[in-house]
Amino acid sequence: HSGLTQAPSASGTPGQRVTISCSGSTSNIGSNSVNWYQQLPGTAPKLLMYDNNQRPSGVPDRFSGSKSGTSASLAISGLQSEDEADYYCAAWDDSLNGAVFGGGTQLTVL
Amino acid sequence: QVTLRESGPALVKPTQTLTLTCSFSGFSLTSSGMCVSWIRQPPGKALEWLALIDWEDDKYYNIEMKTRLTISKDTSNNQVVLTVANMDPVDTATYYCARIVIAETGTNFGLDVWGQGTTVTVSS
């Protein structure tokens, strides 16, 4: 498997801060920017973060992104029930000459 | 307003070739920086990137599926077509197309607009 690595699940209580991590290599995260997608049940994915830490218009500032070396993180502060979704990281891979996704993290709001 | 919509058969038989069409509006694939990607998602599984075509007609493929994939564009009709040869039951998935914008600076603005997806089942 040549994709990015994410923990399969994460959880938090309302109001809490949760971090979702994404691990890659020098050919993908180490060389290129990371994007994050949120997929609510039964819907198409939605762009949540681009260029490591940039929020598209309409995405609340509760969501933030960061990258260091060959890893990236998505943080959600002030967790809300509507944040319950699957979250995917993605990056271009120079060795594969193509994009790669992480395996996704299912976030549960307890 | 940018929109994309996938279309294609809901059911294909093993060994057949799948042809999917992505019809889009609100942007032109001849404009600098514009690209369209295909992504799929098997039931209950993760997203998998398949292919990308850009404004210069450069094409990029998932290395593990490269021999089976062909992406092309019809700029006059604002469509991108993906063919997947030799379909197998493991190719059963929802197939999405999405726009991606790459700035001249190289900034990747991400898959910012997605279609609703089209579900394809491979079964005899």
Q: What is the pLDDT of residues A24-82, one digit of tens each?
A: 999 999 999 999 999 999 999 999 999 999 999 999 999 999 999 999 999 999 999 99
Q: Does B112 touch chain A (CB under 8 A)?
A: yes
Q: Please, are residues B54 and B102 in contact by the beta-carbon 8 Å criterion?
A: yes
Question: What is the rounded CA–CA span in Å between residue B106 and residue A36?
Answer: 18
For A41, the token pair is 């049940």
Question: What is the rounded CA–CA span in Å between residue B77 and residue B30?
Answer: 12
Q: Please, are residues B29 and B75 in contact by the beta-carbon 8 Å criterion?
A: yes
- Measured in angstroms, the CA of B61 and the nearest CA of chain A are apart by 6
CB within 8 Å of A68: residues ≥ 6 apart: none
- Measured in angstroms, the CA of B37 and the nearest CA of chain A are apart by 10
Q: Does A99 touch chain B (CB under 8 A)?
A: yes
For all residues of chain B together, what is the average pLDDT? 96
Residue from B90, B95, B93, B83 nearest B5 by CA? B95
Q: Does B25 touch chain A (CB under 8 A)?
A: no
What is the DSSP secondary-structure string of B80-124? EEEEE-S--GGG-EEEEEEEEEE-TT--EEEEEEE---EEEEE--
Q: Which of B3, B47, B99 is the best residue to mutate to test the A interface, defined by the most A CB atoms within 10 Å of its own CB?
A: B47
Residue from A21, A17, A1 nearest A69 by CA? A21
β-partners of residue A37 are A47, A88
Residue B93 scores a pLDDT above 70? yes
Q: Which of B60, B111, B116 sits opposite A47 (nearest CB)?
A: B111
Mean pLDDT value of segment B65-88? 97
Q: What is the pLDDT of residue B114?
A: 98
Q: Does B10 touch chain A (CB under 8 A)?
A: no
Identify all chain A residues contacting B110, using CB atoms and an 8 Å cutoff: 35, 37, 47, 49-51, 56, 90
Residue A2 scores a pLDDT above 80? no
Instruction: Place B109 in a pLDDT band, splitting at 50, 70 and 90.
Output: confident
% chain B with pLDDT above 90: 94
Residue B108 scores a pLDDT above 90? no
Q: Does B60 touch chain A (CB under 8 A)?
A: yes
Q: Does A97 touch chain B (CB under 8 A)?
A: yes
pLDDT tens sequence across B9-62: 999 999 999 999 999 999 999 999 999 999 999 999 999 999 999 999 999 999
Contact A32 B108 (CB under 8 A): yes
Residue B102 burial by Cβ neighbours in a 10 Å radius (0-12, 13-18, 19+): middle
